[in-house]
Chain A
Amino acid sequence: MGATIIEKIIARNIGAESVKPGQIVTVNVDRVMIHDIFIPFVADKFEEMGFTKLWDPDKVVLIYDHLVPASQLDDARHFKRGNEFAAKYGMKNVHRSDGICHQLMTEAGYVKPGNIVFGTDSHTTTYGCVGAFSSGIGYTEMASILGTGTMWVRVPETIRVNISGKLPDNVTSKDIILTLIGDLGADGATYKALEFAGDTVENMTVASRMTMANMAIEGGAKCALFTPDEKTAEYCEITLTEAETSLVGDADAEYCQVINYKAEDFVPVLACPSQVDNIKPVKELAGTPIDQVFIGSCTNGRLEDLMAAAEILKDKKVAPFVKLIVTPASRKIYREAAANGTIEILSKAGAIITHPGCGLCCGRTGGILTDGERVVATNNRNFLGRMGTSKVEIFLASPKTAAACAVSGNIAEVE
């Protein structure tokens, strides 16, 4: 009997021959990520639980991203508590202004194929892009992992998503994942693992896979998984072991659902207010006036995203009275985009370019909106009130669509 990727990862982690969906097991955690919003709570709970040392300080990564730069008086308290906690317990992996946690975890080499990783953020599913089992948890649970190095999980069932063929021009992995979420519904994959396969996925960059793994949570998924390949190896700067290359969903594995897509069938889409699964083709809404465009976030703030936007914005200007805000996902990406001329193109088009961080996506600063305003954004959520008042309309799209909208001043497809 074959196994799905998630079953293989969990079985190896606990030293079992195999595991079955529904089984509850205790896994050994390879790495954890805590971000600035929750570090004070994690620190308090950790000490309240009576722990006096971290199970392994090297396995703990602390990242300031939601609050960089600080926009509220109390933000500095989070940095202070984080700095104290890191110093007290000997944590060396602290990033104070290097970018978004989910970008840094793989980019800085903290996550490798086959790892089991938890983070105090729902988009922790992102690391499935390199074949890791990663998932979001709350701060109490994180505190308990910091003390014990273990966590219980229920082995999830797996939904297999096969995609084959060549994507049409101006359709990106963002359009695929939005379409999938629309088809599944916002809870269609709750408690389950999403496993992506097929030549379309194989031909994708790791960055594009990240976009899809990142948004798996928007379908309720516990995790998303891609088989590690040569691209993964290059991205992670490793040589793949046999154990890593064997992280493939077996032909005779048991899937609770199999979804097949033809890449040629995808079109540019938008997630319309105020649910991520409210998906419509861009074409249907073309001409709707907009006030702002946001390109950034752990979903779509990578170099290829900025470059895709720059290609559309080159020698053009953002429409009058429309703001384009660009927030690269990491310091490394910002520097690369500056070095290859992408940032200059965006700036000359009139983009407001901010320091890498969560920015507008987390709704604290970075372009908050007010009643009656409409924004097209490349991030992962369009929930009511996420970017300002509950009368703000948020449309989620790919960086290409977003850039086209910025030039047009309306919802628009790439010409």
Chain B
Amino acid sequence: MVYDIDTNIIITTEYLELKTIQDMTPFAFSPLRPELAAQIQPGDIIVAGKNFGCGSSREQAPEIIKALGIRCVIAKSFARIFFRNSINNGLLLIENSDLQAAVQEGDTVTVTVNQDIEHAGKHYAITSLPQNLVDIISAGGLVKAMRKLNGLE
């Protein structure tokens, strides 16, 4: 299981200059697996090892993952800036250290939010998030939460 997937692997600096997140998505993960972005289907789930999203603070990283249609990332651990950025953009992150040993690329994994992960008939528990994060996610991300604060929604 690959670990330490840094934000430069998720999106290389070179492509940060592209105008929109959509423009960047074909280059996602290109230093590691240039073919991967084209293979990702909406609804896919990324399962990774420790320290997913380490490195630079580029928020394009979670945005691109979301734009590729990935619903959630399950990893042994997440780097902290990536974690905050994902929550702020409404991308679901789940910390789990047991699934990795069992899962293979292409397997089906089912995530029931606030409940558990199911894979090959086996269920894995999910730790629940603190309330302030749930608030941001339920508002639909930090932009929407702030719009609400400013009386716009």
A and B touch in the complex (CB under 8 A): yes
Interface residue ranges, A against B (CB under 8 Å)? 24, 37-38, 41, 45, 48-51, 72, 74-75, 119-122, 124, 135-141, 143-144, 147-148, 152, 154, 186-187, 190-191, 220, 222, 275, 362-364, 381, 383-386, 390
Could you show 11 A-B contacts with beta carbons less than 8 Å apart? A24-B130, A48-B143, A51-B146, A138-B85, A141-B85, A147-B150, A187-B54, A190-B79, A275-B4, A386-B8, A390-B32
Chain B residue contacts of A122, Cβ below 8 A: 55-57, 81
Chain B residue contacts of A186, Cβ below 8 A: 4, 51, 54
Q: How far is the CB of B27 from chain A (nearest CB, A)?
A: 11
Q: How far is the CB of A151 from chain B (nearest CB, A)?
A: 9
Check: B132 CB closer than 8 A to any chain A CB: yes
| Cβ contact within 8 Å between B13 and A363 | yes
Chain B residue contacts of A144, Cβ below 8 A: 142, 145-146
Check: B25 CB closer than 8 A to any chain A CB: no
Check: B118 CB closer than 8 A to any chain A CB: no
Chain B residue contacts of A362, Cβ below 8 A: 13
Check: B9 CB closer than 8 A to any chain A CB: yes
| Cβ contact within 8 Å between A50 and B51 | no
Check: B147 CB closer than 8 A to any chain A CB: yes
| Cβ contact within 8 Å between B147 and A48 | yes
| Cβ contact within 8 Å between A140 and B32 | no
Interface residue ranges, B against A (CB under 8 Å)? 4, 6, 8-9, 12-14, 16-19, 30-32, 50-51, 54-59, 62, 77-81, 84-85, 88-89, 130, 132, 141-143, 145-147, 149-152
List the count of A-B residue pairs having beta carbons below 8 Å apart: 128
Report which residue of B59, B78, B88, B151 has the largest number of chain A beta carbons within 10 angstroms of its beta carbon.
Answer: B59
Report which residue of B51, B78, B151 has the largest number of chain A beta carbons within 10 angstroms of its beta carbon.
Answer: B51
Residue of B nearest to A391 (CB): B31
Select which of B31, B59, B79, B80 is within 8 A of A385 by beta carbon: B31
| Cβ contact within 8 Å between A136 and B81 | yes
| Cβ contact within 8 Å between B80 and A222 | yes
Select which of B8, B84, B149, B152 is within 8 A of A384 by beta carbon: B8
| Cβ contact within 8 Å between A140 and B89 | yes
Known: A49-B143, A50-B146, A384-B9. Is A138-B81 also a contact (CB below 8 A)? yes
Cα(A380)–Cα(B53), bound, Å = 16
| Cβ contact within 8 Å between A141 and B77 | no
| Cβ contact within 8 Å between B13 and A191 | no
Cα(A390)–Cα(B32), bound, Å = 8
| Cβ contact within 8 Å between B54 and A141 | no
| Cβ contact within 8 Å between B17 and A140 | no
Cα(A191)–Cα(B81), bound, Å = 9
List 6 extra interface pairs beyond A24-B132, A51-B146, CB under 8 A: A138-B62, A140-B142, A141-B84, A186-B54, A381-B8, A383-B6
